[in-house]
Amino acid sequence: MNANLTLILTASFLCGTGVYLILERSLTRVLVGLLMLGNGVNLLFMVASGPAGEPPIIGSAHAEDMSDPLPQALVLTAIVIALGTTAFLLAMAHRSWQLNGHDDVQDDVEDAAIRLLAQADEASDSHDLSQELTTDDPGEDTFEEEGATT
Amino acid sequence: MSVDTTTLIPLPVVLPLLGAGLTLMLSHRPQAQRLVTISILTSVVAIASILVVEADRNGPQVLWIGGWASPLGIALVADRLSALMLLVSAVVTLLVLLYSLGQRMTDDQKEAPVSIYHPTFLVLVAGVSNAFLAGDLFNLFVSFEMLLFASYVLLTLGGTEARIRAGTIYVVVNMLSSSLFLIALAAVYAATGSLNFAQLAVRLDEVPDGTRLMLQLLLLTTFAIKAAIFPLSFWLPDSYPTAPAPVTAVFAGLLTKVGVYAILRVQVLLFPDSPLSGLLMWAALLTMVIGILGAVAQSDIKRMLSFTLVSHIGYMVFGIGLATQAGTSGAIFYVAHHITIQTALFLVVGLIEHRAGSTGLMRMGGLARLSPLLAVLFFVPAMNLAGIPPMSGFIGKVGLLQAGLAVGTPLSYALVAAGVVTSLLTLYAVAKTWGLAFWRTPEQAHEMMRALPGLEDDLDDSHHQHGFVIHRQHVHVGGTAFGTQELAEARRVVDEDQPDRDLHQRLEDGSLPARLPLGMVLPTAALIAFSLALTVVAGPLYGYTDRAAHDLQERTPYISSVLGDDR
C-alpha cells in the first residue's frame, strides 16, 4: 500500500500537539487537545483508505479508480460523535467556571487524604509530625486551586 | 418455532432508543414516562431470554441489518456469550430502574431532574445491548459512544460541584480512550480492509506477526481503560461514588463489564494464536491485589465498593488470560455473577445512605439494630462478593482457580494465590464495614467522633480509650485507621455551628426517615434473590458457559454463521 506522507506527518503533528494540550490543567485546553487529537485520528483514516480516487458513484467511474467510501463514512460518524462530546465538555467547563471560578481539572479529594496518611506512616515515631501535617486543612499543599474560588 | 427469531435481535437496541424518544416527548407526564420505560425494559428481558434459548439450541443467530448481502452490511450477532450478557444486563437494568423510581418519589427531587432521567437511562440500555450484539468493531465503537454519552449525562445529573469534578475526569479519560479506539480501528482497517469480526478472524491470520501484535495491543489498551484494569483503573474509584446510588449501581454493574466482554471477544475470536497470556495475567494479578488493598484503606462504603469492583475485574481478566476453555468459561460465569452482585451492593448502599444520611463509616453505627432488614440486605451480597460457600461468588472463584491450576505455569499458580488472597481481603473489607456501620451502637460512633478533636493535643502517645487507639495521627479502631480528613470531619460534627451531623445526632433530632421506602427495598431484594438464583442454577449455568467457551475457542460456529457456509 502506498501511503501519503503529508497526511501521516500532519496527523502525527496534530496528535502530538493534542497530547501536549491534554496534559494541561485547564479543561478548555484539554478540550482543544482532544479535538486536535481527534482530527489527527480522522486523518489516519484517510491514510487507511489508500490513495484518493474518483467519487465512488456507480456509473461515474471504473470501480478500480474509485476511492474507498467506507473510511469516509466512518470518519463522518466519528466527527458527529466528537461534535456532541465537545458540546457536552464545553457545558461542563462552563458549569465548572460558574461553580468554582475556573475550569481546572481537580485532584481526587479522598486520594489526597490517603496520600497524607501514607506520609504520616513514613516518618518515625519520634519525629514530630504536627509541624508538617496541618490537621485542620488537609491537602493545603495539594490543592492550590481551592484558594482561587473567588 | 414458526417465527424467525433473528428478527428479534435488533429489538434490544431499537426498543430502548424508540422509548428514549417517546419518554423525551412525554417529559411533562412522569406517569406515562414510567409506564413506557418499565414496559420496554420488561420486553427487553423477555427478548433476551428467547435469544439465550435460541443461541443455545441453534447456535449463533445473525441478522444483517437492512438486508445487505453477507459481508457488506452491518451484522448483529447473538451467540451464547452475547445472549447471556444481554439477559443479565437486561434484568439488572430493569431492577435498577424500578429502584430509582422508588427513590425518586422520596428524595433527590432537586438534584435529579426527572424529565431527562428516563430517556438517558434508555439510551444507556440501548448502548449496552448494542455493544453485546455488535458483529463488527465499528459498531462496537458506536455502542461504546452511545453508552458513554448516556453515562456522562447520568454521572453529572444536577451539575453539583462534586459531580462536575468527578465527571470532568471521567469524560476526559473516556474521550481519550475513544480516540485510541479510533486509531486502532484505522490501523485494523488499513491492515485488513475490514472491520467485521468474522472477516477479521479469517484475514488477521495472514497479517504479519508484528502488525498483528500492534493491533492487538492497541485494542487491548482501549478496552482495558473501559474495563478499569490496573494501570488504567485510576479514574474509576474517583468518578463513580459521586453519582446518585442507582446510577453508580448500573455503572458499576455494566459499564466495566462491557469492556471485559470486548476484551474476551477480541482475544478469543481475533487473536487466538497470540493470546498475550503473560501480559494479561500480570495485569490481572496487579488489578486484583492493588484494587483490594485500595478497598481496605477506604473509610467510605461507596469508595470501598468501587475499589472492590476494580479488584474483582482482575478475576475475569485472569480467566481470559488463561486462554483455555475452562478459563474462558469461568470468566463468563464470573461476569454474570459480578454484574448482579456489584449492582446489588451499590443499591444497598443507596438504602444505607437513605436510612443513615451518609455513607461515611466514621459517623455510622448500629444499623443492624436500627434496621435489621437493611443488615440482611447488606450481609448476603457482601458475603457473596467475598466468595463464601455455597454462593455464586464461591463457585465462580473455584472455577477460575481450578482453571488456573490446570494450566500449571508458575504465573498461573501465582494468580491462584493472588485470587485466594484477594478473596480473603475482600472478606476483611466487607467485615470491617459490617463491624463499623452495623455492629457498634450509634452512641459509640458518636463518642469516638467527639473524642477525636480533643485528642489532637497528645497525639505523640498511643493510648487506649473507649476501645480505640490513637497512634501517629491515626485513630485505630480494630484494624481500621482514620486520618486527618476524618479528624476534620469529626470537628465539623462536634462543632455546634456546623450543619454537619452524624447518625447519633440525627437520630436524636429525628431528622432521618424512619422507614425504608418499599419502592427501593423490593427491587434490591429482587436483585439479591436473582443473585442467589444464580447459585441455585449454577450447575446448568456453568454448563451453558462451558458451551459458550467451547464455541468461542472453536471460532468456527461464529465465523461460519456470520459469513455463511462456504458453498
Q: What is the pLDDT of residues A29-66, one digit of tens each?
A: 889 999 999 999 998 888 888 777 788 887 777 777 78
Q: What is the pLDDT of residues B458-483, one digit of tens each?
A: 444 444 455 566 655 566 655 556 66
Q: Is position A34 within any domain? A: yes
**Cβ B178–A81 below 8 Å, yes or no?**
yes
Q: Is position A27 within any domain? A: yes
Q: What pLDDT, on a 0 to 100 scale, did the predictor assign at position B9?
A: 85
Q: Is position A149 within any domain? A: no
Cα atoms in the 13 Å half-sphere on the side-chain side of A128: 4
Q: Is position A150 within any domain? A: no
Q: Which residue has the cell 441478522?
A: B63
A25 vs B: CB within 8 A: no
Non-local CB neighbours of B397 within 8 Å, separated by 6+ positions: B315, B334, B387, B419, B423
Q: Are residues A127 and A93 in the same domain?
A: no
Q: Are residues A22 and A57 in the same domain?
A: yes
Give the pLDDT band (50/70/90) at residue A9: very high
Q: What is the pLDDT of residues B376-428, one digit of tens each?
A: 888 899 888 888 888 888 888 888 998 888 888 888 899 899 999 999 999 99
Q: Are residues A85 and A28 in the same domain?
A: yes
**Cβ A110–B145 below 8 Å, yes or no?**
no
The mean pLDDT value for B535-550 works out to 87
The residues with which B300 forms a beta bridge, in sequence order, are B360
- Look up the CATH number of the domain holding residue A79: 1.10.287
Q: Are residues A65 and A113 in the same domain?
A: no
Q: Are residues A131 and A87 in the same domain?
A: no
- H/E stretch holding B113: none
Q: Are residues A126 and A83 in the same domain?
A: no
Q: Is position A148 within any domain? A: no
| Higher local confidence (pLDDT), B86 or B278 | B86
Q: What pLDDT, on a 0 to 100 scale, did the predictor assign at position B480?
A: 58
Q: Is position A147 within any domain? A: no
Q: Are residues A136 and A77 in the same domain?
A: no
Q: Are residues A54 and A119 in the same domain?
A: no
Whether the per-residue pLDDT at B144 is higher than 90: the answer is yes
B182, B189, B303 member nearest A41 (Cβ):
B182
Q: Are residues A69 and A115 in the same domain?
A: no
A43 vs B: CB within 8 A: no
Q: What pLDDT, on a 0 to 100 scale, did the predictor assign at position B500?
A: 66
Which range of residues forms the domain containing residue A119?
109-142
Give the pLDDT band (50/70/90) at residue B534: confident
Percent of chain B with pLDDT over 70: 85
B437 with B352: CB under 8 angstroms? yes
Whether the per-residue pLDDT at B495 is higher than 80: the answer is no
Number of structural domains (chain A) is 2
Q: Which positions in chain B have a beta carbon within 8 angstroms of at least one beta carbon in chain A?
A: 138, 142, 145, 149, 152-153, 156, 159, 161, 164-165, 167-169, 171-172, 175-176, 178-179, 182-183, 185-187, 189-190, 238, 297-298, 300, 303, 456, 459-460, 472-474, 481, 483-485, 487-488, 491
Q: Is position A53 within any domain? A: yes
Amino acid identity of B185?
L
B121 with B97: CB under 8 angstroms? yes
Whether the per-residue pLDDT at B567 is higher than 70: the answer is no
Q: Is position A32 within any domain? A: yes
Q: Are residues A84 and A31 in the same domain?
A: yes
Cell numbers linked to B232: 488504567
Please give the residue of chain A at the shortest CA–CA distance from B194: A70
Q: Are residues A130 and A66 in the same domain?
A: no
Please give the residue of chain B at the shortest CA–CA distance from A46: B186
Q: What pLDDT, on a 0 to 100 scale, did the predictor assign at position A50?
A: 77
**3-state class (DSSP) for residue B476:** strand
> What are the domain boundaries of chain B?
442-509
Whether the per-residue pLDDT at A142 is higher than 50: the answer is no
| Higher local confidence (pLDDT), A60 or B280 | B280
The mean pLDDT value for B484-498 works out to 65
Q: What is the pLDDT of residues B291-324, one digit of tens each?
A: 998 888 877 888 888 999 999 999 999 988 888 8
Q: What pLDDT, on a 0 to 100 scale, did the predictor assign at position B91?
A: 92
**Cβ A84–B149 below 8 Å, yes or no?**
yes
Q: Are residues A119 and A64 in the same domain?
A: no
Percent of chain A with pLDDT over 90: 18
**Cβ B484–A48 below 8 Å, yes or no?**
no
Percent of chain B with pLDDT over 90: 21
